[in-house]
Amino acid sequence: MEFYNFDSDEEGDQDGKMSQFAISEEEESALEATDNEEEKERADSCDTDIEIEDAERSFTTIKGAELYREACKLVGVIPVSYFIRNMEEPVMNLNHHGLGPKGTKAIAIALVSNTTITQLQLVDNWILGEGATYLVQMLRENCYIQELNISNNHLDTEGAEAICRMFLDNISNIRAIQLAGNNFREEAAPYFSESLMNNYRVIELDLSHNEFADKGGELLGQMLANNESLEVLKLSWNHLRMKGAVALSAGLRTNGTLKVLDVSWNGFGNEGAFALGEALKVNNVLVELDVSSNHINSEGAIKLSKGLEVNGTLRILKLSQNPITVEGALALLTCVRRNSKSRIEEINISNVLVNEGFARLLDVICEARPELDVIYGGVGGHVTKKQQYRPDPMKMIQIYLDKNKLRLWDFFRKIDKEGTMKITVAEFRKAMMQQTKIPLDRAQVNELVRKLDSGRTGQVDYSKFKIEEPKQKPKEEEEEEENKEEET
């Protein structure tokens, strides 16, 4: 397939459609019949275009930077030097480069034969639906790119249709795609719903900062009920309210693969919270749920907590920036306590002021579940006491290590049972709370976690503390050195 033969006709570009990749026999014969004078006049009239025959010859024999430069001449754009310098790197970051559709077309031509780039980032480039079409055509041929970020590119419904055609046909190896902020409205929802029902390749999908509402929620809910590959779905900052929220939650009930769902900054309200609670009763896959800023009050929190009473998989629940009072907070905590199968590690209600009764109950629960971390706004209802001074936990650990002539590497390695040099935050918190050699309270352990996992990855990576052991010399060299010392 002669993929490289993008038509350089300006009218084709204005129509916003992908040009044909192969020149027909009639076109070839017509080009051969054209006399040299006409060819010279056409070349003089457009300095940036190369002749179609030259393009065909060049694109089939050249690759890499040279191919990209020829493609730029063909479509009439200035080459991006950063792209040329980094074509052999696995991550290509072309965010905010002002590529436009034509610049994207040149990039697409060059990427057809590229085998090193696995992650392509094209955020904020005004590529439009036309540019999305070029990328889809490229991804039909390139099987190496697995992550694509084309957020904030004004794709609109035309771009959604092009992308979803790729989903529907399962024609690319894309595993993670970010499409945030692309003006997708209700008209685009049917494309995503239909194409993702039977897609088995895409694992992570970001549709945040768009305008899906009731109809979008209904269609995406149907997609969730049928999709068997998605593990991460982000729908924050959309217009999902009562009907859309309930429909999406209904899809979650029967979904068997989704692990992370982010619906923060929508309008789920108490009805949506109730629907999510019902879904959590039967869903046994979801690990993280973010419903921050969804107009959920204590009534909604109580309804949601009913799902926590029986759920045995959810680990992270984010409910911050909702008008929840201490009543709702206590309901959440009580349900977790009652559920012996609960695997909750984090509950985020960071804007909620609790009372001393809540704090005491949390202490009791954390004695049995040291891995649990509840983030709340503070304890209200009394005059604020002067904050108790707590020594730096890292300094306390270092003092203990120095006293016992141990290294930090050895300290972490004892906690790491699998020996991967990475410990989940929950396991680390549990180990630190249960150890007795260094007296650390829960607040100090949380401070330690924030320092060691500053990027909020959910893991403590201690590989940076590894100290290379001096290499031992072979026995033969050691014997030779000993003999020389004896002779002297």
Q: List, for residues 351-361, the tens digit of each pLDDT value.
A: 999 999 999 99
333 and 274 share one domain: yes
| Predicted model pTM | 0.79
Arithmetic mean of pLDDT, 382-397 = 68
* Predicted confidence band of residue 388 (pLDDT cuts 50, 70, 90): low
Quick one: how many helices (H) and strands (E) in the chain?
Answer: 21, 13
Q: What is the mean pLDDT of the chain?
A: 84
147 and 266 share one domain: yes
213 and 359 share one domain: yes
Does residue 2 lie in a domain region?
no
Does residue 5 lie in a domain region?
no
With CA atoms as reference, report the closest residue to 189 among 221, 143, 166: 221
199 and 118 share one domain: yes
What integer pLDDT is reported at residue 418 of this predicted model? 78
Domain that holds residue 264: 85-379
158 and 285 share one domain: yes
Q: Where are the beta strands (DSSP E) in 209-331?
A: 232-234, 260-262, 288-290, 316-318
Neighbours of 217 (CB within 10 A): 31
288 and 433 share one domain: no
C-alpha span between 254 and 272 (Å, rounded): 17
265's tokens: 């900054």
Arithmetic mean of pLDDT, 168-195 = 96
200 and 311 share one domain: yes
* Predicted confidence band of residue 252 (pLDDT cuts 50, 70, 90): very high
Arithmetic mean of pLDDT, 185-189 = 97
352 and 400 share one domain: no
Q: Number of structural domains, the chain? A: 2
For the stretch 48-77, pLDDT in tens is 333 334 444 456 678 899 999 999 999 999
Residue 157 has pLDDT above 80, yes or no: yes
C-alpha span between 265 and 391 (Å, rounded): 38
Does residue 461 lie in a domain region?
yes
- CATH assignment at residue 200: 3.80.10.10
What integer pLDDT is reported at residue 474 of this predicted model? 52
277 and 419 share one domain: no
Does residue 314 lie in a domain region?
yes
Please report which helix (H) or strand (E) contains residue 271, including its range.
helix 269-282
Does residue 474 lie in a domain region?
no
Residue 25 has pLDDT above 60, yes or no: no
Q: Give the strand pairing for 422-424 and 459-461.
A: antiparallel
Arithmetic mean of pLDDT, 329-349 = 95
- CATH assignment at residue 454: 1.10.238.10
